[in-house]
Amino acid sequence: MRNTWKVWLASALVSASFASFAQTPAAAPAAAAPAAAAPAAAMQTFVCKDGTSVSAASSKGACTGHKGIDKTATGKAGAAPAAMPAPAAGGKPAPAAAAAPGGGPGQVWVNEKTKVYHCQGDRYYGKTKSGKYMSEADAKAAGMHASNNKACAS
């Protein structure tokens, strides 16, 4: 009986000491906050073709089982604002990989190199290397032609 009492007392003391370690401190150190916020900033929201939205770090496999990613709806949902490109080695800012879609209503994306304009919702709208936004009438006046020779639906 005496040994049972000692075992019980020892286990009670050990479990009480472990419980004190499990408690969170009253004030977390400030250095831990940025480390916890960094993974959340890398998350993006994608809209799937079945209408659901998914938050994931990359688009790869984000809408598996949901008929794939609806790129038009994802673009309209407006991801987080794009960060400014980091300066390159020469002190000049690095060129942006692609302009963000969003020239506005009635705007088309004109590829200045190929003389083709792309309507909103088109695969290349705002994504070619050399281009700019302008109205469809201005694009036609400048000698541009519509992608696949199809005028934009107004």
Q: Of the residues 78, 93, 123, which one is the last residue of a structural domain?
A: 78
> Where do we find the tokens 């009253």?
26
pLDDT tens readout for residues 25-84: 555 555 555 554 455 457 788 788 887 777 787 777 878 777 888 888 777 776 444 444
Provide the 10 A C-beta neighbour count for residue 46: 22
Whether the Cβ atoms of residue 38 and residue 31 lie closer than 8 Å to each other:
no
Burial (0-12, 13-18, 19+ Cβ within 10 Å), 109: buried
β-strand partners of 51? none
Residue 63 has what pLDDT?
A: 82
Domain range for 55 is 41-78
Residue 146 token pair: 């519509």
12 lies in some domain: no
122 lies in some domain: yes
Mean pLDDT of the chain, nearest integer:
72
Res 124 pLDDT > 80: yes
Model confidence at 116, pLDDT cuts 50, 70, 90, reads very high
